[in-house]
Structure 1
Amino acid sequence: MAEFRYQGVTLAGKPLRGTILAPNRLAAKKKIDEIVAEHRVRVQALHKRVHFVYKVRRPGNQKIIDGEITAYTPEEVRESLVRMGYQIVQIRRNFFRPKLGVPQKEVVVFIRLCADLLREQFPYDEILSMLASDMENPRLRETVMEIHKDLKMGKEGRQVFLRHADVLGKFTVYMLSIASTSGNMADIYENTAKFLERSSEFKKNIRSTLFMPAFVVLAAVGALVFYVMYIFPKIAGMLLKYNIAVPPMTAATMQVSEFFQNNIIWVMLAFLSPIIATVSYFRSEKGRVVWHRILISIPVIGKLIYKTSLEVFARVFHALYSGSGENIEVIKISSEACGNRYIEKQIKDIVIPAMLREGRS
């Protein structure tokens, strides 16, 4: 999730500043509208925390130093570098910054190492500093460095870790945020690593199981297209050349093949458009709920996915509820961490209202 900072004034004229987490600017504005309606404040500016690249040099030294930093505005970057004694050469926003993925295996290794070092009584601050310097994946290294920096600044653990849910995963960030305020960090990190290892093995087995059927289907489709577009026209040309009568089915296939060849662009558009539209829908908020409902309805595999989601829910709920008396908020957080939008929606829209309305357990 991205971090946004809002600035404004209260009804009494006092300055107001705060930060929120949101997937995009539109979602951030919706959260700001809720804050304005609830607290009756006036928000004047909303800035997203983004990456800036800079070129600086030391006074009396012509050597240019390149670097990258995250901030809300270029002015903040300039002030920070000036305070550090640098002369500014150039500051610009880094628009072309690809978001490389982080394999779950590397996340598991990171958490496992944290657990081992915590058991050896290493300070958490030193652990993050040590591991960040040895990481090969640039995005994971940057994530750990940002976590380290934010925690040193005294920010709340939950807010710090939730910013990186897209890298570490929702379940992981919820567990790590719980660990940051508990007295048994090593145990929570150990249990999180064990679950992620099992989850990774499960996904690996699913992929290997589905690989061969998917390959067979793609090969069959490819062979059919090759036959209709290349082989069959050659045969049809030979039949027409010698005026050989063809059966009605063959004649119809020849017409279809000719239509495909003459309208290949429109055929490709007609084929790809539904696929693109379906993928776009399933990536939307409502589409994800439908997709996750379909996933848990698949025979055999669906039950495993369903049970895995419930296990995540139970683990987070147990970790949070053991030290909290506010069960409604704990249930909401646990449902968000389970990783299945359909189950999350059912819990928030059906289970929690029933508990509040009828006092059910």
Structure 2
Amino acid sequence: MPEFRYQGVSPSGKLVRGVLFAKSRREAKRRLREIEAERGIRVTQLQRRATFLYKVRKGTEKPIQGEQRAFSKEEVEAALRRMGYNVIWVRKKLLDWTPKPSSKDVTMFIRLSADLLREKFPYDEALQLLSSDIQNKGLRIILKDILQDLREGKDGREVFGKHEDSLGRFAAYMLGVASKSGNMAEIYESTAKFLERDQQFKKDLRSSLVMPLIIVFLLFAAIVYYVAYIFPATAKMFTKFNIPLPPLTSATLRLSDFLQHNILWMLGIIVALGIVVFQIVRSPKGRLWLDRNLIRIPVVGPLFHKTSIEIFSRVFHTLYGGSGESMEAIRIAAEACRNRFIEHKIKTVALPMMIRDGKGIVESLQATGVFPESAISRFRSGAETGTLKQAALQLAEYYEKETTYRMKGVIDFVNIMISMFIMIVMVGLTLVSSEIATIKIPTTTGF
């Protein structure tokens, strides 16, 4: 997320400086107006942190070029002179655009960091190594920026939080927490495990649902093209001579005529409905409705449900450090579970019960109605024996194995259904095509 620095004057005439993060200059100005109204200051300058290119020389050595992120050209020049360089020129980079790293690159970075930390590598050295070795340019720039901010003593949550658009909201939060905790390696390991599971789930989901839907769509498009354009060219050769057509051929020809005359408005309705559904799903209420019904779909619904509970349990295990930290851990785990309905029930039912009524974790989670009985039973057992943190991990591992096994079954089931659908379509097309061969052409004899 872009970083802005503002400068102003307080009511007493003192110079005031601060930093804020915003998606655009317009949003930064809006937030500055709120700061002005709240603190009574008058902002005189707003600068966005940008990339500057430079060319310097030290003594009689060969000139070197590089780039540095700063709020102004003067800052870069001053920093280079303090390092003993003679500044030849400093220019602002015209196309200061950093490509967003892919989720695979982010996961690889966190996994490598977890492995290095487990080997007792110093954190700053691990970041330095990875920022030089990562191939993705966007992620490499982000890591160098993070390393620079941490060395300047900035708060870890703030440093990682400003990159949540690139790293992901959950990953940025977890890495920010890790930078201030005493179990950094464990948090990085859990975060890497979560992201790896998330990517594997999405991959399996594409295999079980997305790709079959694409195949069905392409097959349907091919059928429409065959029925609307290819088949009539053959069948109408017979209608020109008033030759009677068999029932199946006649019905297909009527369908072809209907499609040719109505295909445009039908496509328009389909596209319009698609846009409306997309906009509804994007809205908070629409997403809540979708996620509520998603976990109720036969076959795949329980899979989505238990995967969300697995993620909740894994994140809760990572963040939970005792009864005093349970509510914050539950809130973050709910936001990470990837289901807005489950998140909504936890935030509006479980957390208020714990805060307002002083209820326990297990009783509050059970009141939401979104946790399976097996999950509640495991949490209750852990709470009674004082091993709630370990119980959450055991539940996550159990659901991981169960959902992995179920996903394989779903993929096999969907593949069978797709194969049967293709077989039915091919048989139908074969019958329609072969029926034309049974048409009897009347012959006329005479001299």
The reply to whether TM is greater than 0.5 is: yes
Check whether the contact 1:133–1:141 (CA below 8 A) recurs between aligned residues.
yes
1-side partners of 2:123 and 2:235: how far apart?
A: 73
User: Number of residue pairs matched?
Assistant: 354
1-side partners of 2:167 and 2:210: how far apart?
A: 26
Q: Structure 1: which amino acid aligns with 2:224?
A: V
- Distance 1:244-1:45 versus aligned 2 partners, 3 A rule: farther
Provide the secondary structure at the position in 2 that maps to 1:86: strand
Give CA deviations for 1:57-94 in whole Å, capped at 9, x if unaligned.
Answer: 64999x99765544456665676667664333642442
2-side partners of 1:157 and 1:238: how far apart?
A: 76
TM-score by length of 2: 0.63
1:33 is displaced (CA, Å) by 5.9
Provide the secondary structure at the position in 1 that maps to 2:92: strand
Q: Which moved more, 1:338-347 or 1:117-126?
A: 338-347
1:138 equivalenced with 2:137 (yes/no): yes
2-side partners of 1:49 and 1:292: how far apart?
A: 39
- Distance 1:294-1:137 versus aligned 2 partners, 3 A rule: farther
Give CA deviations for 1:201-252 in whole Å, capped at 9, x if unaligned.
Answer: 3333332222553244123322233224431442465355435577587446
Give CA deviations for 1:37-63 in whole Å, capped at 9, x if unaligned.
Answer: 65455555555545x4636464999x9
- Distance 1:314-1:139 versus aligned 2 partners, 3 A rule: same
Please give the residue correspondences for 1:245-284 in structure 2 after superposition, counting only pairs within 5 Å.
Answer: 250-251=253-254, 253-260=256-263, 263=264, 270-283=269-282
Aligned counterpart, 2:436: none
- Distance 1:287-1:68 versus aligned 2 partners, 3 A rule: farther
State, as a whole percentage, how many aligned pairs show the same letter.
46
Aligned counterpart, 2:102: 101
Please give the residue correspondences for 1:296-315 in structure 2 after superposition, counting only pairs within 5 Å.
Answer: 296-315=295-314
1-side partners of 2:46 and 2:290: how far apart?
A: 33
2-side partners of 1:144 and 1:93: how far apart?
A: 22
Check whether the contact 2:127–2:143 (CA below 8 A) recurs between aligned residues.
yes
1:177 is displaced (CA, Å) by 1.9
Aligned counterpart, 1:14: 14
1:36 is displaced (CA, Å) by 5.2
Give CA deviations for 1:298-350 in whole Å, capped at 9, x if unaligned.
Answer: 33434343334344444444544527946555544443344434433444444
- Distance 1:249-1:206 versus aligned 2 partners, 3 A rule: closer
Aligned counterpart, 1:190: 189
Aligned counterpart, 1:87: 88
- Distance 1:353-1:191 versus aligned 2 partners, 3 A rule: closer
Check whether the contact 1:4–1:22 (CA below 8 A) recurs between aligned residues.
yes
Aligned counterpart, 2:386: none
Check whether the contact 1:335–1:347 (CA below 8 A) recurs between aligned residues.
yes
Q: Which moved more, 1:225-234 or 1:277-286?
A: 277-286
Q: Which moved more, 1:161-170 or 1:283-292?
A: 283-292
1:25 is displaced (CA, Å) by 5.6
Q: Structure 1: which amino acid aligns with 2:339?
A: N
Q: Structure 2: which amino acid aligns with 1:186?
A: A
Please give the residue correspondences for 1:329-340 in structure 2 after superposition, counting only pairs within 5 Å.
Answer: 329-340=328-339
1:254 is displaced (CA, Å) by 0.8
Aligned counterpart, 2:109: 110
Q: Structure 1: which amino acid aligns with 2:193?
A: K
1:220 equivalenced with 2:219 (yes/no): yes
Q: Which runs of 5+ in 2 are unaligned?
A: 361-447
Please give the residue correspondences for 1:163-178 in structure 2 after superposition, counting only pairs within 5 Å.
Answer: 163-178=162-177
Check whether the contact 2:4–2:28 (CA below 8 A) recurs between aligned residues.
yes
2-side partners of 1:233 and 1:71: how far apart?
A: 68
2-side partners of 1:91 and 1:143: how far apart?
A: 18
CA RMSD of superposed structures (Å): 4.0
Check whether the contact 2:232–2:253 (CA below 8 A) recurs between aligned residues.
no
1-side partners of 2:330 and 2:10: how far apart?
A: 33
Give CA deviations for 1:173-224 in whole Å, capped at 9, x if unaligned.
Answer: 3322222112222222233333333333333333222255324412332223
Check whether the contact 2:335–2:343 (CA below 8 A) recurs between aligned residues.
yes
1:127 equivalenced with 2:126 (yes/no): yes
Check whether the contact 2:5–2:18 (CA below 8 A) recurs between aligned residues.
yes
1-side partners of 2:137 and 2:337: how far apart?
A: 27
User: Structure 1 residue runs of 4+, over 6 Å off?
Assistant: 63-66
Q: Structure 2: which amino acid aligns with 1:254?
A: D
2-side partners of 1:162 and 1:322: how far apart?
A: 22
